[in-house]
A = this chain, B = another copy of it.
């Protein structure tokens, strides 16, 4: 879309899914090679087996400051199947962080040992902040409720393998125009955030079927509109029997011709798209991100089971789930051939192998110097929006800028009127209505104006 090729100090990182739109096809082609050309994909077991000596000289550091087994295992398996080494820290309390070390120092030191770093962190934007200091590629394996881009790569790769057909269509052709129903906790799920942006980018139609109270957050919707030029509409159509939000990327020419038309036409298109669901993406309730006091009414949570899937609409729908699941996806789908969530987990290894190779090979070719650190402005200037880097503080309490001294509040000015600032770390948005007095100072106004003008020139 915009210049998404995101490099800091000439090292490429994967922090948010939009860092990678241009490279995804390359990554998937590499994953295909591992699966098909090198025959690592075992058709019987539906998983990657064997080893290919591609990263013998490399070591992966796994830094998991939040609970995880699945994602960590997937990366460590990928690295070992490439012949590489792994060093792992999984104990948030027993690392040098507990001695007061900053993320900045941590990634610089670990980058002296390992050739590539995978990081999961409770602070949103922490991996982005880390890129300022890292001399080796950083991969975001989940930062709070923000993003989880490698999960999205796995999800997309699964859809691509399912939809590319015998003629092995490209990713774009495989995804464009498909209708994906995303279901469950759309508010807290970081996998959901990364996924809807990517689906929008590649031209899929999205129907959001959320549990009540756990809808897609308004800033995500606004971003779909502003960054991806999507049309977002709410529906309560009887035929669908779910309270859904409908998202369709409007920027694609053939869709634009439809969607710039009147509301009634959208309805028609929606009905058409909703008639046949190509894939259903089910997510669990993210209990660990609910406010402590919240008692969530489990009964209202959408449950996908054989009965739900018995209508014609879902006849050939693929059922995906990032796992782990709790009760929202019935075990009776496990033997249903539409349920491909375990295969989806297995594809994750192939995708991560490709990702590791891609980032490591890039690194090998690049020359950079430790001394040549970028300013925060330089890091974030690859987006098309002007930067603004003074007050206020980010209102997201888990944003890295509220925890790390060196992560100064910095925003993209998404729009000037109404004022809309997006935090460069956690990507929360601040609007005019936000009751922070600092928004009303003339200084802010002036600064933003300056930022916008310098971007234009």
> A60-82 CB contact bits vs B (8 Å, 1 = yes)?
01000001111011101100110
Report the nearest B residue to A63, measured CB to CB. Answer: B69
Whether the pair B109, A44 counts as a contact (CB closer than 8 A) is no
Known interface pairs A80-B87, A96-B324, A104-B331; 8 further A-B residue pairs with C-beta atoms within 8 A, sorted by A's residue number: A51-B57, A59-B80, A68-B94, A69-B96, A81-B85, A112-B342, A112-B345, A334-B373
Q: A73-B61, A108-B342, A324-B96 are in contact. Are A44 and B113 (CB under 8 A)?
A: no
Whether the pair B44, A369 counts as a contact (CB closer than 8 A) is yes
Decide if A306 is an interface residue (CB 8 Å cutoff).
no
How many copies make up the complex? 3
Q: A59-B81, A99-B326 are in contact. Are A70 and B406 (CB under 8 A)?
A: no
A223 to B73, CA, bound (A): 40
A184 to B244, CA, bound (A): 61
Q: A81-B59, A342-B112, A370-B342 are in contact. Are A45 and B135 (CB under 8 A)?
A: yes
A121 to B371, CA, bound (A): 36
A104 to B325, CA, bound (A): 11
24 intermolecular pairs with C-beta atoms under 8 Å apart: A45-B368, A47-B113, A49-B57, A51-B57, A51-B85, A61-B73, A67-B95, A67-B99, A68-B94, A73-B110, A73-B114, A77-B87, A77-B113, A88-B88, A89-B90, A90-B91, A96-B323, A101-B326, A105-B325, A113-B345, A113-B346, A331-B406, A335-B373, A337-B371
Decide if A263 is an interface residue (CB 8 Å cutoff).
no
Decide if A265 is an interface residue (CB 8 Å cutoff).
no
* Nearest-Cβ distance from residue A296 to partner chain B, whole angstroms: 13
For A44, what are the chain B residues with a Cβ–Cβ distance below 8 Å?
367-369
Whether the pair B68, A324 counts as a contact (CB closer than 8 A) is no
Whether the pair B101, A342 counts as a contact (CB closer than 8 A) is no
A85 to B82, CA, bound (A): 11
A77 to B89, CA, bound (A): 13
Whether the pair B45, A324 counts as a contact (CB closer than 8 A) is no
For A46, what are the chain B residues with a Cβ–Cβ distance below 8 Å?
112, 370
Whether the pair B324, A105 counts as a contact (CB closer than 8 A) is yes
For A99, what are the chain B residues with a Cβ–Cβ distance below 8 Å?
67, 284, 287-288, 324, 326
* Nearest-Cβ distance from residue A353 to partner chain B, whole angstroms: 12
Interchain CB contact (< 8 A) of A76 among B51, B87, B284: B87
Report the nearest B residue to A321, measured CB to CB. Answer: B105
Report the nearest B residue to A101, measured CB to CB. Answer: B324
Residues of A319-371 at the interface with B, using a CB-CB cut-off of 8 Å, are: 323-326, 331, 334-335, 337, 342, 345-346, 349, 367-371
A: number of interface residues (CB 8 Å): 73
Whether the pair B90, A94 counts as a contact (CB closer than 8 A) is yes
* Nearest-Cβ distance from residue A131 to partner chain B, whole angstroms: 16
A211 to B56, CA, bound (A): 46
* Nearest-Cβ distance from residue A216 to partner chain B, whole angstroms: 22
A335 to B111, CA, bound (A): 17
Decide if A185 is an interface residue (CB 8 Å cutoff).
no
A91 to B110, CA, bound (A): 20
| A interface, CB within 8 angstroms of B | 44-47, 49-51, 56-57, 59, 61, 67-70, 72-74, 76-77, 80-81, 85-96, 98-101, 104-106, 108-115, 135-136, 284, 287-288, 323-326, 331, 334-335, 337, 342, 345-346, 349, 367-371, 373, 406
For A112, what are the chain B residues with a Cβ–Cβ distance below 8 Å?
46-47, 342, 345-346, 349
A86 to B44, CA, bound (A): 23
For A81, what are the chain B residues with a Cβ–Cβ distance below 8 Å?
59, 85
For A368, what are the chain B residues with a Cβ–Cβ distance below 8 Å?
44-45
Whether the pair A96, B67 counts as a contact (CB closer than 8 A) is yes
A99 to B288, CA, bound (A): 8
* Nearest-Cβ distance from residue A396 to partner chain B, whole angstroms: 23
Whether the pair B69, A95 counts as a contact (CB closer than 8 A) is yes
* Nearest-Cβ distance from residue A206 to partner chain B, whole angstroms: 25
* Nearest-Cβ distance from residue A374 to partner chain B, whole angstroms: 12
Whether the pair B113, A74 counts as a contact (CB closer than 8 A) is yes
